[in-house]
Amino acid sequence: MIILLTACSFLSGSLMFSYWLGLVSKKNLKAVGDGNPGALNLWKAGGYKFGIAGVLLDFLKGYLPLLFIIGTEYGQGYFIIPLAIAPIAGHAFSPFLKGKGGKAIAVTFGVWSALTGFEVSVAYAVILALFMAVNRLIFKSRLKSAQADGLQVVSGMLLLSVFLYMRMFSAAILWVWFGNFVILVYTHRAEITSWLRRVSRRGD
Which amino acid is present at 67?
L
Please count the other Cβ atoms lying within 10 Å of the Cβ belonging to residue 159: 15
Judge whether residue 35 has pLDDT over 80.
no
Residues 190, 149: contact at Cβ < 8 Å? no
Distances (CA, A) of 98 to 37, 79, 85, 102, 178: 12, 28, 19, 12, 25
Summarised one tens digit per residue, pLDDT across range 178-196 is: 999 999 999 999 888 887 8
Judge whether residue 142 has pLDDT over 70.
no
Q: pTM value?
A: 0.90
**In this prediction, what percent of the chain has a pLDDT beyond 70?**
94
Ramachandran sector of residue 32 (left: φ over 0; alpha: ψ -120 to 50; beta: rest): beta
Residue 143 has a pLDDT of 55
Least confident of 40-54, 132-146, 188-202: 132-146
Distances (CA, A) of 97 to 1, 173, 187, 195, 200: 27, 29, 14, 27, 34
Residues in the chain: 204
Burial class (CB in 10 A: 0-12, 13-18, 19+), 45: buried
Residues 199, 105: contact at Cβ < 8 Å? no
Q: How confident is the model at residue 39 (pLDDT cuts 50, 70, 90)?
A: confident
Distance CA 49, CA 68 (A): 28
End-to-end, the C-alpha distance of the chain in Å comes to 55
Residue 133 has a pLDDT of 83
Report which of 192, 195, 133, 190 is spatially closest to residue 158, judged by C-alpha positions. 192
Distance CA 185, CA 180 (A): 9
Summarised one tens digit per residue, pLDDT across range 115-134 is: 999 999 999 999 999 988 87
Summarised one tens digit per residue, pLDDT across range 149-175 is: 888 999 999 999 999 999 999 999 999
How many CA within 13 A on the CB side of residue 95? 6
CA 150 to centroid of chain Cα atoms = 11
Give the mean pLDDT of 73-97: 93
Give the mean pLDDT of 56-78: 91
Residue 140 has a pLDDT of 56
